[in-house]
Amino acid sequence: MTENLVEEVETETEGQSAYIPNQMWIEKRKEYLNFISELRKSKKSDRLETLKKLRDLHLMFIESVDAWGNWLNNVHVISLFPKEEIDKIFLEYADYVEKYIKLDIKATSIVEAYRQKEPFFKTLDKTPAYMV
């Protein structure tokens, strides 16, 4: 995958601005949105297929979150944002993080409830649910 990305950048950047990688990033996010839409449409799936879809979504999410972290730690990128835009992004991002943390609590509670029913897991009571 990396080799193809390098070839695409080399091909598309000849005589163009250095911001093409950002445009490629945006196009990849649009592909992800289409992929997510297709995942939602595929109603018939067994448990493992659904888990694979969840894993795919998680990998997309992690990739994006990691990139956001890189931006936030790069003063050269962050300095490009006007204060008003940073304020708007902050509020929207806070909403996303809050929603995600609520989902995390819900999922962890479900795992813990099932764990308490299973004799094997009852012996691991001192092990946090995220480690089992």
Local mean pLDDT, 10-residue blocks, the chain (132 residues)? 40 47 90 93 86 93 92 89 94 96 94 79 61 58
Longest dimension (CA), the chain: 65
Residues 69 and 132 reside in one and the same domain? no
> What pLDDT, on the 0 to 100 scale, is given for residue 1?
38
User: Residue 112 belongs to what domain range?
Assistant: 82-132
pTM, full prediction: 0.66
The vertex-12 CA angle with 6 and 15, nearest 5°, equals 120
Residues 70 and 28 reside in one and the same domain? yes
Residues 8 and 73 reside in one and the same domain? yes
> What pLDDT, on the 0 to 100 scale, is given for residue 114?
83
> What pLDDT, on the 0 to 100 scale, is given for residue 20?
52
Residues 6+ apart with CB under 8 A from 89: 81
Residues 91 and 73 reside in one and the same domain? no
> What pLDDT, on the 0 to 100 scale, is given for residue 31?
95
